Amino acid sequence: MATESNDAARNRAEASFKKEERAKDGAAAMTEYLANSRATREKTARLRALRLAKERAGNEPANKSA
């Protein structure tokens, strides 16, 4: 009888531990996802700014010639 009680308590403790680990892993994954999303947005904005600057620079000589 005591062994069954100990086994049940141990199983509950292990389940609780696994649940906490999954929660921590989920939080870490979300943090990584958000960081990657932010980095992608920043890189996209930087590349867009460079592209627009290049387009403006390419248009200036044509405007001066006309």
Distance CA 35, CA 40 (A): 9
Q: Could you tell me the residue range of the domain that residue 11 belongs to?
A: 1-66
Number of domains in the chain: 1
**Position 52 confidence tier, pLDDT thresholds 50, 70, 90:** very high
For residues 65 and 24, what is the distance between their CA atoms, to the nearest angstrom?
62
Is the pLDDT confidence value at 62 over 80?
Answer: no
Q: How confident is the model at residue 3 (pLDDT cuts 50, 70, 90)?
A: confident
In order of 4, 9, 33, 34, 55, the CA distances from 46 in angstroms are 63, 56, 20, 18, 14
Hey, what are 13's tokens? 């403790």
What is the structure's pLDDT at 66? 46
DSSP 4: H
Angle among Cα 57, 39, 45 to the nearest 5 degrees reads: 25
Structure-model confidence comparison of residues 64 and 60, the more confident one: 60
Encode pLDDT of 28-44 as tens digits. 999 999 999 999 999 99
